[in-house]
Structure 1
């Protein structure tokens, strides 16, 4: 994937990033946006939307001109290092230390950024374990030596002061036992050798710590004690350490040398910032800025939920609905100003956030990326080697020459990627990689299911055996991005549970599946809890489908069809069919109108077209005077929204022939035959796993008009529906649109 694919409006010279940092990608100055009160910029979007890729792009491109430290809050290294000495380390201190190292390695204008305030705090924490021996404690203290600025000791003191400080630490290490507690000895040595400028810096910083009353020694000692207490005390200490680091950065810009040599704003880039570590880093920044403690650090962070995450809000806060939100498609630059009013400490932290919606790829961008991956665009690379897909529609790429119908084949692939991906960058790139390994022999028979079977090699194992692109996408989007609150005992079952839920609509029918598929387990998840976990993972909600993203739902349905030898697809649809069939037939159903129609929907998904036709024929107002024509049309659309298993299994798909009357059903009167044709025509159209066949949709008006041949109340509804459906089909829009199919057409 091109590093900046889809990010043009964010990264261009007068875009949001350049204006926040004051520098373009080429290093030109730009007027600063906002200030001195800065928002925390939260990049929001679900899995595969490119949030982490954008942060890496900012680090690599803008980080050549302004200091930009990058932290992956989901990286296991922070917890691993903290676990080596949990009494004096935490994930937050390890992340802050990594930030300090990156600031200290800055080689651009102004040189490295020294972090004396953070150093003092980390040293106090390292020396604060009352149970550690002096040797162990001093080893923890000396671990932070690399954070000390080389060549001077906090400004204004010759290098010998620095050397004498290190020598004093070595002497303490040799003294067994120490005459005083280690933290006292360390702070004595620190304040003995620090310059007057350094003492002033520590006084301004740690003199403001709770209970210090302006005395930096007391502040550092209190911070160490709070860290040892754990819980809220440790959280307060960690918050203050991050403030100390930001004050170090601020000092580097406001010093005489900094004002002359540094330009723009430094950046802290926090990937996966909506997990536990990210929240512990973001919250102190938000609370400090809410209380008027401002700094010039531009904080960019990522969050999967559209609202940034529940930790930003208070349940009773009146400002929760007024959080600033902006997307590149909105145009211009976001207007942001902190809301006024409220009691400090009681308002929601979200007031200090600017939510930036990650952009989806346009159709043109999608096609350009597919062309690049297939070697048809500028800088296009070679396709991945693969194996033929099922159904005989594809073959290896790389043969000399261009196959007949190449243009039609390309359009088939591009439209399939658009339907499945909906502009989600990870979908587009993975499917494009798969398409690069295929050549479509029969464009008319090629479906989206064939595209999901396209073989690619994993980037983690480039020499390994090719696997279907659908499996790699599930690994990218689900397996590697488990919900934070998912119980550990459910980790191995999460993908299976979602696969079963791909056939569900509402929470109630999803719950039926959960009860059946988790029978016998001590630890169970309800469907309603699964819905919460999906929302926390950034997956969208659709009122008509439990799995609210169309592409993800297709990945999961494909997997369900291949799960085990017991036929999970048939079993799940049969379970829901029987569940709704057991209810009173005319009982109201939110999805399909009646329980009987909902049962027919799942029967149709199992291949039971005859049962679905029987239901619609019996429910037609000519036969059932209790139904109106409008209700019947709605039931038709609800039933015809069933997925079809035939293409998944590689079986012949006779829907087209039955819709055109080329394979009429055996038996039945004129009404049943016409209903049969109409159902198959609508079913094939609503399936949308291939481009729209306009010849097929042209039969709707005739079929609907023929249904109104008999004097049935409401036949004018059929005429009106024929016009409405024809217009929707002309624009290639779904007949029963929902949140996850808006991109179709």
Structure 2
């Protein structure tokens, strides 16, 4: 993936990052944006939007000119480190230690940034385990030696040299057991060797800890006790430790040397910051800054939900435009985001969200997508091509645009897949064929190539499971989503999920699954349960390949799910189309909903029967506009033929080359119209212009008999023709609005 793909307006010399940090990626100075009260900046977007890639780019490029520290809050190494000694470590302290180590390794202007305040707090925590023997306790204390810069110890904060201090710690073990608790001995040694400058620094920091009353030694003791207690007390200690680190960084800038040698602002980069570790760290910054405890550290964090995450809000209404809702900005808005903290409210009671700036990760434009595809396929845009190559490239670009919707991960993965395709007939290149194209994984280069659809599901689902997904559901999550790819509304999905979870003791409801998808950053579409078109197609393809047992043919599970929903929505015998029990807000009627799924499972017969029976000429209770609406919602069904790799007969049926059987003229006309609309709405392959050209003729022929409201057919024909000229869906929804 091109490192700068889609990031131009964020990373250029006048972009948001340069103005936040006061430095460009080439090291030139820029006027600082905001300050001294800074927002916490959340980069928001679902899986595959490039949030982590952007943070790494900031670290690698801007980190040469301003101190930058990066931590992946979801990295297993944090949990692994904490698990080794749960009494004195947590994932948050492991993350803070990693940030401090990176600041201590800074080699740019001004030199390394030491972390004496954080060191003192972590040492107090490490020495606070009353059940640990002195040797183990001291070993845990010595683990933080790398937070202290070599050479002058704390830059003169302590009188003695670094080695002398460590030797003094080792001397604590001369007599066994210690006459005093280890934490008391450690803190006595620390304060005995601290200069007046160091004592003042620790007093200003830990003297303000809850219950310390200005005495840093009491503050460190209290912090250690709180950490040992766990729960909210431990969270409070972790929060204060992050403040200590930020004060260390701030001190490096306000010292005499720092004011001369350092420019710009330092930055902390927190990937997957909406997970539990990131939430604890970010809450610390937000609450501190809300209460007036400011620092110059720029905090860039990633969040999958568009609203930054539920932890930012005091009430559900805050994310919907209430007073404490955060500022929101997208690079496509132009300019730079204005931000100022709202005044009023009681610190600690107002929602943390008002200290946040949400930055929407940009979708790739069509031009950016096409440029990246050309790069991945290794040819220029205006180079010479073999016959048919230009047409094939246009097919690929169209397929990637439909499936990816501008999501960078989709574009790059599908571009890699397209580079392996050899399609003799461009007209045969469908979205399903592209998803089947083999690609070699970057992570396991020695593994055989796999279909790109499988790699995308690994990238977007398998490696980014929802944090709140119960562990017993981890192995079934992808299967569950695959089944739900054919569902629409919540009740529709609930019926399917009940059947597919069988006798499992631990079950998820469809409504809980919807929440987990939203927490994972996937968009919502009122007409589709899986609200992202590209993800839905990946899951549908996987569903089609699933089997319930040995010997079962591909497609059996797909058809079974469609049939299950068809039977669920099939109206009771004698139920009319306006029967209240059969009403369906999405499809117009339960019978239409059933016909939609039957169209996907068994073909067009039942759908044609329904549309013929309910045509206003035969059912005066029907309005023509409602009938046309039902036609569109039924025709939105997926088709099995392209998935199965079998001939698609819809084209011949739409053009009348393979007419439907029977003597019923109205039914035959409805059959042609349904196949023409179905083929156009499918949008997984090229559409013959002759197909939409038949709509006006077919709609006009339906009005041969005088029917009330027949003028609607003529108006509908004109509307559909206009949308077809722009290649727009006839029945657009949230997940198809990018098509056209």
* Structure 1 length-normalised TM: 0.96
* Aligned-partner Cα distance in 2 for 1:239–1:606: 55
Alpha-carbon shift at residue 119 of structure 1 (Å): 0.6
Answer yes or no: is the 8 Å Cα contact 2:159–2:194 preserved in 1. no
| Partner in structure 2 of residue 384 of structure 1 | none
Alpha-carbon shift at residue 343 of structure 1 (Å): 1.2
| Partner in structure 1 of residue 561 of structure 2 | 572
Alpha-carbon shift at residue 377 of structure 1 (Å): 4.3
* Aligned-partner Cα distance in 1 for 2:216–2:649: 81
Alpha-carbon shift at residue 582 of structure 1 (Å): 4.1
Answer yes or no: is the 8 Å Cα contact 2:227–2:234 preserved in 1. yes
Q: Counterparts in 2 of 1:133-532, with a 5 A limit? A: 133-156=133-156, 160-315=160-315, 319=322, 322-377=325-380, 402-532=385-515
Cα deviations across residues 603-660 of structure 1 (Å, max 9, x unaligned)? Answer: 1001321211111111111111110111110110011000001010011101111111
* Aligned-partner Cα distance in 2 for 1:157–1:506: 64
Alpha-carbon shift at residue 320 of structure 1 (Å): 5.6
Cα deviations across residues 189-236 of structure 1 (Å, max 9, x unaligned)? Answer: 101111111111001000111111111111111111111111111111
SS of equivalent residue, structure 1 residue 741: coil
Answer yes or no: is the 8 Å Cα contact 1:320–1:348 preserved in 2. no
Cα deviations across residues 674-713 of structure 1 (Å, max 9, x unaligned)? Answer: 1111100000010011234322111111111111111111
| Partner in structure 1 of residue 617 of structure 2 | 622
Answer yes or no: is the 8 Å Cα contact 1:585–1:596 preserved in 2. no
SS of equivalent residue, structure 2 residue 617: coil
Out of 150-159 and 484-493, give the one that drifted further. 150-159
| Partner in structure 1 of residue 737 of structure 2 | 742
* Aligned-partner Cα distance in 2 for 1:58–1:159: 38
Answer yes or no: is the 8 Å Cα contact 1:363–1:423 preserved in 2. yes
SS of equivalent residue, structure 1 residue 299: strand
Answer yes or no: is the 8 Å Cα contact 1:154–1:195 preserved in 2. no
* Aligned-partner Cα distance in 1 for 2:337–2:347: 25
* Aligned-partner Cα distance in 2 for 1:635–1:351: 45
Residues 742/157 of structure 1: CA separation in 2 closer, same or farther (3 Å cut): closer
* Aligned-partner Cα distance in 2 for 1:377–1:175: 75
| Partner in structure 2 of residue 24 of structure 1 | 24
SS of equivalent residue, structure 1 residue 589: coil
Q: Counterparts in 2 of 1:69-108, with a 5 A limit? A: 69-108=69-108
* Aligned-partner Cα distance in 1 for 2:203–2:162: 20
Tell me how many residue pairs correspond in the alignment.
724
Alpha-carbon shift at residue 299 of structure 1 (Å): 0.2
* Aligned-partner Cα distance in 2 for 1:39–1:627: 56
* Aligned-partner Cα distance in 2 for 1:707–1:281: 65
* Aligned-partner Cα distance in 1 for 2:539–2:520: 16
Residues 159/345 of structure 1: CA separation in 2 closer, same or farther (3 Å cut): closer
| Partner in structure 2 of residue 591 of structure 1 | 586
SS of equivalent residue, structure 1 residue 66: coil
* Aligned-partner Cα distance in 2 for 1:159–1:370: 61
| Partner in structure 2 of residue 386 of structure 1 | none
| Partner in structure 1 of residue 648 of structure 2 | 653
Answer yes or no: is the 8 Å Cα contact 1:21–1:265 preserved in 2. yes
* Aligned-partner Cα distance in 1 for 2:400–2:503: 40
SS of equivalent residue, structure 2 residue 456: helix
Cα deviations across residues 541-588 of structure 1 (Å, max 9, x unaligned)? Answer: 000000000000000011111101261110000001111114445221
| Partner in structure 2 of residue 391 of structure 1 | none
Alpha-carbon shift at residue 462 of structure 1 (Å): 1.2
Unpaired runs of at least 5, structure 1? 381-400
Answer yes or no: is the 8 Å Cα contact 2:158–2:194 preserved in 1. no
Answer yes or no: is the 8 Å Cα contact 2:160–2:193 preserved in 1. no
Cα deviations across residues 283-337 of structure 1 (Å, max 9, x unaligned)? Answer: 0000000000000000000000000000000117764663100000000000111
Of 715, 718, 728 in structure 1, the residue corresponding to residue 713 of structure 2 is 718
Q: Counterparts in 2 of 1:567-716, with a 5 A limit? A: 567-583=556-572, 584-586=575-577, 587-716=582-711
* Aligned-partner Cα distance in 2 for 1:222–1:15: 44
Alpha-carbon shift at residue 443 of structure 1 (Å): 1.2
* Aligned-partner Cα distance in 2 for 1:694–1:136: 77
Residues 136/585 of structure 1: CA separation in 2 closer, same or farther (3 Å cut): farther
* Aligned-partner Cα distance in 1 for 2:491–2:663: 36
Alpha-carbon shift at residue 458 of structure 1 (Å): 1.1
* Aligned-partner Cα distance in 1 for 2:526–2:309: 21
* Aligned-partner Cα distance in 2 for 1:660–1:349: 60
* Aligned-partner Cα distance in 2 for 1:576–1:90: 47
Answer yes or no: is the 8 Å Cα contact 1:155–1:197 preserved in 2. no
| Partner in structure 2 of residue 560 of structure 1 | 543
Alpha-carbon shift at residue 173 of structure 1 (Å): 2.4
Alpha-carbon shift at residue 170 of structure 1 (Å): 1.0
Alpha-carbon shift at residue 158 of structure 1 (Å): 7.7
* Aligned-partner Cα distance in 2 for 1:322–1:153: 45
* Aligned-partner Cα distance in 2 for 1:323–1:284: 17
* Structure 2 length-normalised TM: 0.96
- RMSD in angstroms over aligned alpha carbons? 1.4
Cα deviations across residues 230-283 of structure 1 (Å, max 9, x unaligned)? Answer: 111111111100000000000000000000000000000000000011101110
* Aligned-partner Cα distance in 2 for 1:130–1:458: 49
Alpha-carbon shift at residue 159 of structure 1 (Å): 7.1
* Aligned-partner Cα distance in 2 for 1:90–1:529: 29
Alpha-carbon shift at residue 162 of structure 1 (Å): 3.0
Cα deviations across residues 150-206 of structure 1 (Å, max 9, x unaligned)? Answer: 222334368744333212101012221111111111111101111111111001000
* Aligned-partner Cα distance in 1 for 2:523–2:507: 23
* Aligned-partner Cα distance in 2 for 1:464–1:88: 41
Unpaired runs of at least 5, structure 2? none
